[in-house]
Structure 1
Amino acid sequence: MRAMRILLTTTVTAAVVLAAAPPAAAKWATTTRVSVSTTGFQSNDRSDDPAISADGRYVTFDSDASNLVPDDTNGVSDIFVRDRITGTTTRVSVSTTGDQANQFSRASAISADGRYVTYQSLATNLVPDDTNDEIDVFVRDRATGTTSRVSVSTNEYQANHYSELPAMSADGRYITYHSLATNLVPNDTNSAYDVFVRDQINGTTRRVSVSTAGDQGDGDSFDPAISADGRYVSYTSGASNLVPDDTNGDLTDVFVWDRTTGTTRRISVSTTGNQGDNSSFTSVLSADGGYVSYASDASNLVADDSNDATDIFVWNRATGTTRRISVSTTGNQGDNVSRSPAISASGRYVTYQSLATNLVPDDTNGVTDILVQDRITGTTRRVSVSTSGNQANQHSEFPAISADGRYISYQSPATNLVPDDTNGVTDIFVRNRGGF
């Protein structure tokens, strides 16, 4: 599970009331479990943190299970890819020669076509000369079967501190991550987490959590996301010197760096430009970077935000407007926290997890659900349900969404989303929203 993500605290009651039938628009929708072996065996340990390819065919996730592929004997979390078309499951956190990792691997991301998978790992045997004894970022080329280390300097020096939470451009060329290392770029003297981008083609590493003038941040910057073309990188930061007039103290804000212009902009502000009165975090971008979705505890980003709960927002680059997404179809604000957004390529669909009970009808399970809003029609629907429409009997978290918004993957320990779910652990599911 991604280390910097902020988890919802959920209390699961013993009895859960089942939901009514799904709306007619979702009548072709199905829910399947993907954290299974090629032969269909359910996992014997938990699986977490899914990512999904642009067309929804490939789903990557980390798992402590030892029975998803043959010869998994390392006793640690690995990264797997499920091909939903062929029904095969493969392990990708291995060396170029096929050796399994000697330490845990987590937090994967996948390229648009599913060829490249990036992830973090403490393993020392995935690439030669890995002697720093730190969590590094790696990338697996599934076409060539090669594994390389990403978290190195332009001169190929390995990082002197850990690197985590990678995200990847659509073609796999650009990989962004945060790191506490001080030797990835020159003049890194702030003793803070910074955000870096590795260009896999040119072999360069660049720090992007800097001001437009190039000043390094005076606070931690972390949890980056990247646009499809690699131009824009969004991230969370507690730094106060990345943009002018950042005076909201120790609160975290969401920033966007533009590779083309070299500028840094704070986007977790209201439409009128007011900075948030509480922290904002966990950002994601649409394919062209035109929309940025994020979670925030702030109450002054939109009018009439009075629920005293974390909400999901979307910033529109073209108009400079900020809109709250975690509302019901009728516009009611959530009565509990919403977090962990993901956004479709066009920015039309935003999915997120929520503990709110009033965003969709018949939400009586008292646990975190996965919801999706259509920003064009304004409708909000729940996707963490079974094919027959039954609501989950356990919490569902950390959604990922395909480019067109049709497929949404998430993790859940629920036992009633698919038949024969008897392993008693968190699994990875995919909701095919059919006719949307």
Structure 2
Amino acid sequence: MSAEVTRSTTRRARAALGAAVAVCAVTVALPGVASAEPAGARGAGVERISVAADGTQADGDSADASITHDGRRVIFSSSATNLTADAASAGASVYVRDQRTGQNQRMGDLSPIGPPVISGDGEYIGYAHQWITNVRIRQYQMSTGRTASLNCSAYTCDQASLNTDGRYTAHVVRYPRQPTFGQRIEVQDWNNGGANQNVAVLTHSKPSKPSISGDGRYVAYQDGQTEDVFLWDRTGATTSGPIEGPDKAAALVQLSDDGGKVVYLSGSDTYVHDVRTGTAQLLPNAKGVAIDPTGRYLLYAPRDTSGPALTLRDLRTGTDEIISDQPASAGTDAVSTGGRDVVFQSAADNIVPGDTNGKSDVFARHLY
């Protein structure tokens, strides 16, 4: 791995927390990306996303939702066979729902391995899938119908993270037939003939998780064997970390869209590392889940099981908004800009009226 490694050990404990961005998978362009409708058009409340265009309930389980920065499009996986006319009769598929039109689009014929992802501007989606004996990351471009796979050669690649416009894909490359080779983190530039830049070589076989900033400059990743989190500056060719300091285990959640904040877990707590100051904010006894693109709103799961399942915190004011008081879970990229929308999954049947399908559904809570 390239160069100067610095360590940050200073921290501050606060009730309000901060930032990130991460993910995994392939890519697809979506037609006519536009800004989200005015706040009053949809209004505050919660709606079920995993339904057919006519509102028919999904006949299979749905999960793994992510949302675009403007809140217009939601990507998720589902085993349902009635969400689109071309839905598969068996196995999971990836869908994108346009919240403005209420239409779903099925993305490819391959079953996803892990959560699918969508670029922040809604132009591309991506997901990992089985390819013979390996795993590949497949990209789709909806406006042209073109598809492409990451340049993984004969190896396995997964856990992709897309930057805002989908140009850069950070991902993990593994050597399944030669585990002693460990794995590496790469960034693929789709505008440069699919050229790969090696971010880090990790001489172990435990999972690592990359998360790329909106402009593609920074990549946060986790060394699964040492349980450390690092930040790579692709422009300066420098690596900082472990950002949690020495003698402390950490697991990456997300890197913020501007590359300024890294959210990570350590023990039962969540920390937000400020890249500029080298300090960290603490949210005790909570599991950080996702951060909005501005780094102001943090979605977290309180570890106190008697409370709500998911809560959104305004890190500037320290105020909380309950997202779900029923059992629920969410992944990275679950919060739109400004904390306006949050997507999550739940098998509860009382989040919206008339939920009788007995399946896990994807929901969106609109806060204003």
Shorter chain as normaliser: what TM range? Answer: 0.7 to 0.9
Gaps in structure 1 of 5+ consecutive residues? 5-27, 95-99, 125-131, 211-215, 239-249, 298-309, 326-332, 358-362, 385-390
Which has the larger Rg?
A: 1
Asked if residue 348 in structure 1 is aligned to residue 299 in structure 2, the reply is no
1:304-315 residue pairs with structure 2 within 5 A? 310-315=268-273
Asked if residue 90 in structure 1 is aligned to residue 98 in structure 2, the reply is no
Q: Is the 8 A contact 1:76 1:104 kept in 2?
A: no
> In the TM superposition, what is the alpha-carbon distance from 1:377 to its structure 2 partner?
0.6
- Rounded Cα–Cα distance in structure 1 between residues aligned with 2:180 and 2:260: 31
Q: Is the 8 A contact 2:250 2:265 kept in 1?
A: yes
> In the TM superposition, what is the alpha-carbon distance from 1:3 to its structure 2 partner?
11
- Rounded Cα–Cα distance in structure 2 between residues aligned with 1:341 and 1:349: 11
Q: Please tell me the residue identity of whatever aligns with 2:121.
A: D
Q: Using structure 2 for the length normalisation, give the TM-score.
A: 0.82
In the other structure, the counterpart of 1:395 is 328
Q: Is the 8 A contact 2:23 2:162 kept in 1?
A: no
> In the TM superposition, what is the alpha-carbon distance from 1:108 to its structure 2 partner?
1.1
CA distances 1:261-282 after superposition (whole Å, capped 9, x unpaired) = 111112542xxxx4253x3113
Call closer, same or farther: CA 1:137–1:68 in 2, change over 3 Å. Answer: same
Decide which of 252, 255, 260 is 1:285's aligned counterpart: 255
- Rounded Cα–Cα distance in structure 1 between residues aligned with 2:287 and 2:359: 22
Q: Is the 8 A contact 1:396 1:413 kept in 2?
A: no
1:30-179 residue pairs with structure 2 within 5 A? 30-92=45-107, 94=108, 100-101=109-110, 103-122=111-130, 124=131, 132-150=132-150, 152-153=151-152, 158=153, 160-179=154-173
In the other structure, the counterpart of 2:15 is none
Q: Is the 8 A contact 1:161 1:182 kept in 2?
A: yes
Q: Please tell me the residue identity of whatever aligns with 2:73.
A: Y
Decide which of 239, 246, 269 is 1:275's aligned counterpart: 246
The structure with the largest strand share of the pair is 2
Asked if residue 223 in structure 1 is aligned to residue 214 in structure 2, the reply is no
In the other structure, the counterpart of 1:233 is 219
Q: Using structure 1 for the length normalisation, give the TM-score.
A: 0.70
> In the TM superposition, what is the alpha-carbon distance from 1:323 to its structure 2 partner?
0.8
> In the TM superposition, what is the alpha-carbon distance from 1:341 to its structure 2 partner?
2.1
Q: Is the 8 A contact 1:47 1:61 kept in 2?
A: yes
Q: Please tell me the residue identity of whatever aligns with 2:55.
A: G
> In the TM superposition, what is the alpha-carbon distance from 1:104 to its structure 2 partner?
4.3
Q: Is the 8 A contact 2:302 2:311 kept in 1?
A: yes
Please state whether the residue corresponding to 2:133 is helix, strand or coil.
coil
Q: Is the 8 A contact 1:194 1:221 kept in 2?
A: no
> In the TM superposition, what is the alpha-carbon distance from 1:408 to its structure 2 partner?
0.9
User: What is the root-mean-square deviation in Å for CA atoms of aligned residues?
Assistant: 2.5
- Rounded Cα–Cα distance in structure 1 between residues aligned with 2:57 and 2:209: 31
Please state whether the residue corresponding to 1:172 is helix, strand or coil.
coil
- Rounded Cα–Cα distance in structure 2 between residues aligned with 1:341 and 1:209: 25
Q: Is the 8 A contact 2:181 2:203 kept in 1?
A: no
> In the TM superposition, what is the alpha-carbon distance from 1:290 to its structure 2 partner?
0.4
In the other structure, the counterpart of 1:207 is 198
> In the TM superposition, what is the alpha-carbon distance from 1:73 to its structure 2 partner?
3.0
> In the TM superposition, what is the alpha-carbon distance from 1:143 to its structure 2 partner?
1.5
Q: Please tell me the residue identity of whatever aligns with 2:232.
A: W
Structure number with greater CO (CA < 8 Å, separation at least 6) is: 2
Call closer, same or farther: CA 1:133–1:252 in 2, change over 3 Å. Answer: same
